Structure 1
Amino acid sequence: MNRFWGFVKKEFYHIFRDARTMIILFGIPIAQLLLFGTVITNEIKDAHIAIYDQSKDEVTQEITTKLLSSGYFVLDQYLESTADIEAIFKKGKVREVLVFEAGFAQSLEKEGKAKVQVIADASDPNVGKLLANYTSGIINDYMLKEMGEMQLPMQIKPEVRMYYNEGLESVHMFVPGIMAMILMLISAMMTSISITREKELGTMEILLVSPLRPVQIILGKVAPYLGLSIINAVVILLIGHWVFGVPIAGSWVLLMLESILFILMALCLGILISTMAKTQMVAMFISMIALMLPTILLSGFIFPIENMPVPLQILSHAMPPRWFIVILKNIMLKGTGLLYVWKETLILLGMAVLFTAIAVKKFKTRLE
């Protein structure tokens, strides 16, 4: 028995001396708890809205003030006409538009009712529904508190309308997000183990003595996976469109070009991981832990980025899927062109170039 406890004690010493094991045992659970605890929330805050106030009377101003003072909404701008609504939604920053009818206060006083249109961007159906519910609740609260003392029965009826997803179909949100996650994980993971496999099998020496340059070796590793990942992207889009009914309102050509760019970026990131990892297991572990959780939590796939703490919002800028999901939603659901996604396209292109440059620099020209 003493020998057994001595053996257990030795194992404890081995665990405590290995920094990587301690990180896996304690660091990752703590990091996951902090991430999930701060990211997962059903509340909305600082959602950008626009207002088209055709009346501009005292009542509409009071309702606007009550909405903005709630902490849930931030006024982006006042609109000049209803023609500006779709254009401002396509820019992606504004999530909701309020339209007050002309003569709002007069209608409320004379007829006992007035109309306000609540138009939400439902490309993310959960956020769109929450915003509409919050807005309707605040307006109803205003009526109870401000108009309750009046003798005449009065009613402000919000008319809710959802843009880009009138049926609030959740697949409109999940298909773009799942596509980004699948392409990111598959592309990066497959390439991340490619060079480490060469190291483990001992075939790296053949590559090192070949006349191929590091850039050529990396491109040779990327090319097969690029073709296979493009097929994956086409299959996902076809299933999403024909099976789940997700619309593709924009250009198929632009959509495929953007998908190829994202795949290239993910492949380059996988090559970068493979140049740093010494074994296939380490490369796969880095790919899964470093890519899957951030893709789910920090890309805006499920949880709105504006709801996150500021440090996580800043960190989300380094998540490639964040920009690709924006591109997919704009092209597929909103039917926009390159004019509306050029910034996200340049970011993905810059990431692909950066990852490739670092991978080439770190690529070993001889065994160490």
Structure 2
Amino acid sequence: MKQFIAFVRKEFFHIFRDRRTMLILLGMPVVQIILFGFAITTEVRNVRVAVLDPSNDAVTRRIIDRVDASEYFTVIRRLHSPEEAERFFRSGDIDMAIVFSERFSDNLYTGEAGVQIISDATDPNMATMQAGYATNIISMVRQDMLPPGVRVSAIVPQVKLLYNPQMKSAYNFVPGVMGLILMLICAMMTSISIVREKETGTMEVLLVSPVKPLFIILAKAVPYFVLSFVNLITILLLSVYVLHVPVAGSLFWLIAVSLLFIFVSLALGLLISTVTRTQVAAMLVSGLMLMMPTMLLSGMIFPIESMPAILQGISTVIPARWYIQAVRKLMIEGVDISLVLTEIGILTVMAVLLITVSFKKFKNRLE
């Protein structure tokens, strides 16, 4: 029994001395419960609303104030024409628009007052929930404004769903799945490339060659870049001809942005390979440590606007977030490339930083 207790103590000492094991055992559950608890939410929050109110009467102002006061919506713009609403939707500045009919207050008692709710349906479930919440608020304000005993027909807002009127879920998950697949495949494959050279003993040959370390790193990425491009074409063909998700925008720019994201993912994998010592560690970091944040914090499944501010800040450093936003704009909304320059700029900066850090971390001598 004493020998058994001695072995148990030895194992405890081994675990306590290994900081990485302690981090996985005690730190990972904390991170997971926080991410799953706050990021996984189907609640409607922080919806950016624009209002077109040609009548500007007491009833419409009351409805707008009630919408803005709710915890779900924030009125950020007043529109002057329907064309403005379309422009703001395409630029990604608003998530929903409320359009009132003319002489809304006068027509309220005759039942002729009309309201249109326009929502971005690239995420069909969220668009339906947003329209439902706004409809409830409008109905409650209408009921409050009517004198006691007066009965008129209820206002049924006309709901218009942009970009996805058929409410197909594929329009929502295809851009997210594209980002997840390309990120995991590219990062996972390249993360083990340099580590494999270390474990097999062929790194010495590379280090004594006249090739500069930067070109060694880039040479590791080129084959995977070509293979990832083949994967990209396959994904696009399946999305269009099997899942029936059309490419509404420019196919050229969609491929160009995808290639930029592939390069970012490859650079991230190369960085992982330079800081890890074994293939197992590289696979764990690239697979486990990247998959969960990419799924939860990139906007692939759950809207970023509904997350706490701290998680929204963390999501800004996840490359897949910007790629998914760009794909939704180019592929689903069909916007011009000028409206995707922000995402392209951020991905470009990430690519340069990751390659630079990978070069700095690359060791010219084996330990």
- What aligned pairs does 1:186-225 form with structure 2 within 5 A after superposition? 186-225=185-224
Find the counterpart in structure 2 of residue 31 from structure 1: 31
Query: Structure 1 stretches (4+) deviating beyond 3 angstroms?
Result: none
Q: Structure 1: which amino acid aligns with 2:306?
A: N
**CA distance in 2: counterparts of 1:9 and 1:295, whole angstroms:** 38
**In the alignment, which residue of structure 1 is the partner of 2:284?**
285
CA distance in 1, matches of 2:29, 2:308: 19
* Conserved 8 A contact 1:330-1:336: yes
Partner of 1:53: 53
Q: In the superposition, relative to structure 1, how do residues 152 and 144 fare at CA in structure 2: closer, same or farther (>3 Å)?
A: closer
- Could you tell me which residue of structure 2 aligns to residue 6 of structure 1? 6
One-letter amino acid of the counterpart of residue 355, structure 1: L
Which residue is 1:233 aligned to? 232
Unpaired segments of 5 or more residues in structure 2? none
Does 68-77 or 321-330 show the bigger shift?
68-77
Amino acid at match of 2:62: E
User: What CA distance in whole angstroms lies between the structure 1 residues aligned with 2:321 and 2:277?
Assistant: 29
Give CA deviations for 1:64-117 in whole Å, capped at 9, x if unaligned: 1111111211112111111122211011131101110111111112x2342100
CA distance in structure 2 between the aligned counterparts of 1:70 and 1:166, rounded to whole angstroms: 27
Alignment match, 1:63? 63
- Paired position in structure 1 for 2:75: 75
CA distance in 1 between counterparts of 2:147 and 2:185 reads: 59
**Aligned counterpart, 2:270:** 271
SS across alignment from 1:74: strand
Higher mean displacement: 17-26 or 277-286: 17-26
**Residue type at the aligned position of 2:278:** T
Task: Kindly report which structure 2 residues correspond to 1:107-256, keeping only aligned pairs within 5 A, or say none.
Answer: 107-109=107-109, 111-147=110-146, 149-256=148-255
Q: Which moved more, 1:80-89 or 1:256-265?
A: 80-89
Q: Which amino acid aligns with 1:2?
A: K
SS of the residue corresponding to residue 291 of structure 1 reads helix
1:237 deviation in Å?
1.0
Write the distance in 2 (CA, Å) between the matches of 1:153 and 1:257: 55
- Residues 112 and 152, structure 1, Cα contact 8 Å, conserved in 2: no
Distance in 1 separating the partners of 2:72 and 2:57? 23
Counterpart for residue 90 of structure 1: 90
Residue by residue over 1:133-174, the C-alpha shift from the partner in whole angstroms, topping out at 9 and shown as x without a partner, is 110111122233332625242422211110001121111111
Specify the code of the residue in structure 2 equivalent to 1:98: I
2:101 aligned residue: 101
The answer to which of 254-263 and 358-367 deviates more is 358-367
> For 1:148 and 1:351, how far apart are their aligned partners in 2?
59
- How many Å separate the matches in 2 of 1:301 and 1:149? 47
> How far has the Cα of 1:16 moved from its partner?
2.5
Cα shift readout 1:310-355 (whole Å, capped 9, x = no counterpart): 1111111111011000110000111112100011101101100110
**Match status 1:320 vs 2:316:** no
Shift of 1:5: 2.9
TM-score, normalised to structure 1, is 0.97
Q: Could you tell me whether the CA contact under 8 Å between 1:55 and 1:101 is conserved in 2? A: yes
Q: C-alpha deviations, 1:158-211, integer Å up to 9, x for none?
A: 111100011211111111000000000100110010000000000000000001
Please report the TM-score for the alignment, with normalisation by the length of structure 2: 0.97
Q: CA, structure 1 residues 144+108, in 2 after alignment: closer, same or farther (shift >3 Å)?
A: closer
Opposite residue 344 of structure 1, the aligned amino acid is E
Would the aligned equivalents of 2:179 and 2:323 in 1 still touch at CA under 8 Å?
yes
Any conservation in 1 of the 2:98–2:117 contact (CA below 8 Å)?
A: yes
* Residues 20-73 of structure 1: CA deviation (Å, up to 9, x unaligned): 111111210111001110111121122101111121111111111111111211
Give the Cα separation in 2 of the matches to 1:207 and 1:58: 76
Q: Secondary structure at the match of 1:346?
A: helix
Per the TM alignment, residue 245 of structure 1 is displaced from its structure 2 partner at its CA by 1.0
SS in structure 1 opposite 2:277? Answer: coil
**Residue 364 of structure 2: SS of its match in structure 1?**
coil
Please identify, of 154-163 and 170-179, the stretch whose mean Cα deviation from structure 2 is larger: 154-163
Whole-angstrom distance in 2 between the partners of 1:367 and 1:195: 12
Who is 1:18 aligned against? 18
Q: Percent identity?
A: 47
More off after superposition, 211-220 vs 201-210: 211-220
Further displaced range: 25-34 or 203-212 = 25-34
Q: Deviations over 1:249-282 (max 9, x none)?
A: 1111111111000000110111111111111111
1:114 counterpart SS class:
coil
**Structure 2 Cα separation of the partners of residues 346 and 112 of structure 1:** 50
Aligned partner letter, 1:192? S
Q: Give the partner amino acid of 2:117.
A: V
Contact 1:147-1:154 within 8 A present in 2 as well: no
In structure 2, C-alpha distance between the alignment counterparts of 1:84 and 1:332, rounded to whole Å: 22
